[in-house]
Structure formats: C-alpha cells, structure tokens
C-alpha cells in the first residue's frame, strides 16, 4: 500500500539548510511529521504499542476513503482519509488476560465483530493520515492495557484522631460561650 511510514523522505530541508547552502533567517527547517516523538511503526510495518506488545501489519486492515476537510480542488477526488481496523477478539499477539482487559475497557469502541476502528483524516496526505491513525490506535491500546494501581486502605493515626477530637471540643466550647446566658 504505497510507502511505508518508515520510508518517508522529506527533502533537503530536514537538516535545516536549503540545497543552495543559503541558510538565511527566512529559511526554516521542515520537520518530519514524527518530529518530537519516536516512530511507532517498525521497518517491517509492525505497530509497536509497548515493548511487550507489537501488532503485526497483517492483523491490521487499513482502508483509504474519501475525506472532507482541507485539500483544495482535489479534496473530493482523492482518498486521503484512513480507517484502521484491528480485530481484538481474533488477535494472535494478545494473551488471554490482555484480550479480556481490552474487550472490557474498549467495549464502547468495538463493533459487533470485536474490531476497533480508528479514523484519521485531518491531513491532506494519505501517508500522514495513516501514521496518525496508527499512532492513535497504539495510544488507545496502550492506555487500555494499563492496570490501575490498587488502593491500599489506610487508617487514621492515633495522633490525628486526638487532634480531630480536641478541635471538635474547642469548637463546641466556643459555640457554648457564644450562647446568650440568662440573667444571673
């Protein structure tokens, strides 16, 4: 399906200079779309969710559809929006525990077949939308696999109980002193 994400070429401005060697203040470096974060797609096309979980490209269904939004005259004729589907229920890379956690935590995002659908269409380029959709899927799966830390119930210390009761007695005494006292 075209270029892989890891094969993106961005021209001479990636290093910060133009091809003529004139690095004036008006020439700014053009950064790749993955600048600022590590690439989540390996050279072989697999999606890296975490060091322990890598989704093979064969388990992902990637579809290009017509996109609304920016793009000028050719926006209605080019298929730049990307839909990525991943069948959680039939995935071979998940353990039973991971599968159960994903099915439970992502239940509202799953279709009837147990597939997650992620869509990206904000960019004009199909390649950038594909990268954005894969990144979104990886973030979604990684967040769903996080096991929350169990809360350990704590007891108030004896000193804190004493302070609370002392303050309570003082408040009661203050209110008692404010009361109108009859003539004596």
Helix ranges, 106-181 (H): 126-145, 158-178
CA-to-CA distance for 160 and 128, rounded, in angstroms?
A: 57
Please list the ranges in the chain whose pLDDT falls under 70.
Answer: 1-45, 67-77, 182-184
CA-to-CA distance for 53 and 142, rounded, in angstroms?
A: 9
3-state helix, strand, coil split of the chain in percent (to 5) is 40, 15, 45
CA-to-CA distance for 36 and 44, rounded, in angstroms?
A: 22
Question: What is the pLDDT, as a whole number, of residue 165?
Answer: 96
pTM (whole model) above 0.75: no
Tell me the domain boundaries of the chain: 40-145
CA-to-CA distance for 122 and 81, rounded, in angstroms?
A: 8
Question: What is the pLDDT, as a whole number, of residue 170?
Answer: 96
CB atoms within 10 A of CB 60: 20
Q: Which fold has domain 40-145?
A: Double Stranded RNA Binding Domain (3.30.160)
Question: What is the pLDDT, as a whole number, of residue 160?
Answer: 95
Question: What is the pLDDT, as a whole number, of residue 44?
Answer: 65
- Tens digit of each residue's pLDDT (9 = 90 or more) over 62-100: 888 876 665 555 655 677 788 888 888 888 888 888 888
């Amino acid at each position: 399906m075209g270029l892989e994400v890891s094969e993106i070429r961005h021209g001479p401005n990636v290093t910060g200079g133009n091809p003529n060697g004139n690095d004036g203040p008006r020439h700014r470096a053009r950064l790749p779309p993955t600048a600022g974060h590590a690439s989540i797609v390996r050279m072989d096309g697999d999606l890296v969710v975490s060091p322990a979980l890598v989704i093979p490209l064969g388990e992902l269904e990637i579809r290009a559809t017509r996109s609304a939004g920016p793009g000028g005259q050719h926006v209605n004729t080019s298929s730049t929006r990307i839909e990525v589907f991943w069948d959680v229920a039939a995935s071979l890379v998940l353990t039973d525990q991971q599968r159960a956690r994903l099915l439970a935590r992502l239940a509202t995002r799953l279709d009837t077949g147990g597939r997650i659908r992620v869509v990206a269409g904000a960019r004009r380029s199909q390649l950038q939308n594909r990268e954005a959709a894969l990144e979104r899927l990886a973030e979604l799966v990684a967040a769903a696999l996080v096991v929350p830390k169990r809360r350990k119930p704590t007891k108030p210390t004896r000193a804190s109980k004493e302070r609370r009761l002392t303050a309570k007695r003082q408040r009661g005494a203050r209110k008692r002193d404010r009361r109108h006292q009859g003539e004596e």
